[in-house]
Structure 1
């Protein structure tokens, strides 16, 4: 499981490096999921919105309640879903954008043959 953020998709002007790092992790997660598709390994991207932690500094807790967030997303991290969002990152406007990104990735992923991991741990071509 990789933890990105809504900032991976909507860059946050107050946190440009954070947003760029999360966008890079999202891209890597998509590629890793593709490379491991023929194995039993499942790659899940957790996409939280702002969660009310102390990360913002003293007295600046904003965002989703941590207990509600965990209670909602933890049962969904079993590998059956490629991405798990919460609140704004689980709304149709956001998930539709994810689906569009998946379609674009799938169309582009067949442009060049690349080795994929096989269930036995070896690397080779896997027909998709």
Structure 2
């Protein structure tokens, strides 16, 4: 764990906005019961890069861990507005919509994600499962 953390920190020193390093370090912090470090990392990223879809998607993921679904959806929607091709934001929105029993919206997000990155086996399984349940296109609220 220490070596992994050191590697991620070194990566971020070289490239502070490296999406995969930011995500991996945030996950490492969360799994190591260092949630405040994860929050600090991601909040700093959002402050440094307010136009980064990846940073907002990561913030949305952290909010979803707290079950703060309105804040999580807001952050992920902001990510989507900044970059409608951001797969992390699309997948996070899909998972949030599933949690909130909006399978139609979840399916829509997952299908969009697969348009941009078709080789996501886990997302493909989610789409298949939702379609097998008879979930269709979203309908207006």
Which bracket does the TM-score occupy, shorter chain normalised?
under 0.3
Larger fraction in helix: 2
Larger fraction in strand: 1
Q: Tell me which structure has the larger Cα radius of gyration.
A: 1
Which structure would you say has the larger RCO, counting Cα contacts within 8 Å and 6 or more residues apart?
A: 1
TM-score, scaled relative to structure 1 = 0.23
